[in-house]
Amino acid sequence: RKDLPVETSPSLVDAEKKSDSDGKKSYVDDGGNVLSSTLEDITESDWTRLEHYASTGERVEVELINCSAKGFVVSLDSMIGFLPYRNLATKWKFLAFETWLRRKGGDPSLYKQSMSMEEGSEVSDRSIEPESVSEVAHQDQGTLQSRLKFEELLRTYDEEKSKFLSSFIGQRLRVSVVLADRNSKRLFFSMRPKESDELIQKRKSLMARLNVGDIVTCTIKRFVYFGIFVEVEGVPALIQQWEVSWDETLDPSVSYRIGQVVDAKVIQLDFNNSRIFLSLKDVKPSPPVGALEAVIGDEASLDGSLEPAQADFEWPEVDSLIEELKNIEQVKDVYKGRFFRSPGLAPTFQVYMASLVGQKYKVLARYGNNVQEVMVETSLDKEGLKEAILMCTNRVS
């Protein structure tokens, strides 16, 4: 990996703040809130007109008069508002941070957690802009050097992004008014189409019925580097990267597929911004589980926590798991071992990998109080088999 040259000069956002202070320019703050000095020129009839545009979705023509990495300051007649970067059409956007970093010779995986936090902060709150670079850096769980490096990279990225956006200054375009609030003094625009009343009502109804901790069925719609976009009863929701799996190396686009139906746990309902956040890993408890690990040894080591039993039912998920494992080139043989009853209940189909016994690995499949031992003979090492099991489990569960 190449070391990336980074500039430590103040960002354009900082420069704009200084310009606002020194030059008395009056636009909007970093959150898109119209500054009070600008609002003096917006009359009550103007606000009424803006609220009409917001409610009907009627498109209006604005001029781009300033920018930062967070978006454009725009003018509608004599009124000043904010067009957030996230509301731009694709062709107006700069490279995604991950793509930009790769082109610079960097490795995005080294900054995976910080990148997720940066993107997640924007997704989780649409009424404000992402946290500052310094705040994101302090949340990073890496070393101090790693945090500083990420901060410098973001600063350089924002500067290049701002330079790209500045090339559009002076252009006029048609946009929608998505927020015109005379009480909070906020005026937001968007290039994207207004959500239908049907979707808005469907989201409100769903969120009113949901509670944190609920298990919901959702359909995978899109993979992004910060997570997975899904739909619950036709309503968009987000599974952030760190909520996908206990295995941080897992690539969701390899283990899952577009259109796949999965169970997920509701972990956050953001009513202020109409956002639903889910977790996949919370429906698959973090291994190892002590009671199940007893199966790794001899039957004498069970200590009564698991009770050997006779399987008296068909278990299609286990059969499918075995077939999926058999399809892997490095797997020589797969067959069922012992069957047990567990004192605890598993809410979903779960698979755990035990240690190597002789030339075979023991894999434990679990649902309800049923536990099935599966023996796997393979040339894969432990990490390779672990990845294979995760992939196969996601296909059959």
Residue 367's CB is within 10 A of a number of other CB atoms, namely 19
Percentage of the chain surpassing pLDDT 70?
Answer: 69
Rounded alpha-carbon distances, angstroms, from residue 123 to 49, 188, 208, 235, 315: 29, 16, 20, 15, 40
Give the model's pLDDT for residue 242. Answer: 81
The pLDDT confidence band at residue 103, using thresholds 50, 70 and 90, is confident
The mean predicted confidence, pLDDT, of the chain is: 75
Helix pair 112-124, 144-166: axis angle to 10 deg: 50
pLDDT exceeds cutoff 50 at 142:
no
Distance CA 173, CA 179 (A): 18
Domains in the chain, CATH or no CATH each: 12-190 (no CATH), 199-283 (2.40.50.140), 290-396 (no CATH)
Are 150 and 131 in contact, with CB atoms under 8 Å apart? no
pLDDT, residue 291, reads 38
Instruction: Return the structure tokens found at 346.
Output: 């598993």
pLDDT at 312: 79
Residue 279 in tokens: 């977790």
* Residue scoring higher pLDDT (258 or 126): 258
State residue 147's pLDDT score.
59
> What local confidence, expressed as pLDDT, does residue 163 receive?
92
User: Secondary structure of 154-186 in the HEC alphabet?
Assistant: HHHHHHHHHHHHHCCCCCEEEEEEEEEECCCCE
**396 vs 119: which has the higher pLDDT:** 396
Half-sphere exposure of residue 41, counting CA atoms within 13 Å on the CB side? 13
pLDDT at site 61? 94
pLDDT of amino acid 15: 38
The dihedrals phi and psi of 266, each to the nearest 5 degrees, come to: -75, 120
CA distances (Å), origin 191, targets 51, 63, 168, 279, 353: 17, 13, 14, 30, 49
**pLDDT, tens digit, 9 for 90 and up, residues 51-89:** 888 888 888 999 999 988 888 999 998 888 899 988 888
* Residue count of the chain: 397
In the structure encoding, which two tokens stand for residue 285, read together?
Answer: 């408890």
DSSP at 302: G
pTM to 2 decimal places: 0.48
**What pLDDT, on a 0 to 100 scale, did the predictor assign at position 42?**
74
The pLDDT of residue 17 is above 50 = no
The mean pLDDT of 180-197, rounded to a whole number, is 82
Residue 258 has pLDDT above 80, yes or no: yes
The tens digit of pLDDT for each residue in 342-369 reads 766 666 788 887 666 677 888 888 887 7
- Bridge-based pairing of strands 331-357 and 360-378 is antiparallel
Q: Is the pLDDT of residue 293 over 90?
A: no
Q: What is the pLDDT of residue 219?
A: 94
Q: What is the pLDDT of residues 304-316, one digit of tens each?
A: 456 677 877 889 9
At 397 the pLDDT is 67
Host H or E run for residue 29: none
Return left, alpha or beta for 172; rule: phi > 0 is left, psi -120 to 50 is alpha, else beta.
beta
What's the mean pLDDT in 148-175? 89
| CA–CA dist 117, 131 (Å, integer) | 9
> What contacts 6, CB < 8 A, 6 or more positions away?
152, 153, 155, 156
Q: Which of 130, 129, 128, 146 is nearest to 138 (CA)?
A: 146
Contact of 193 with 207, CB cutoff 8 Å: no
Question: 251 pLDDT band (50/70/90 cuts)?
Answer: confident
Per-residue confidence (pLDDT) for residue 115, from 0 to 100: 53
Question: At residue 223, does pLDDT exceed 50?
Answer: yes
Q: State how far the Cα of 21 lies from the Cα of 29, in Å rounded to an integer.
A: 12
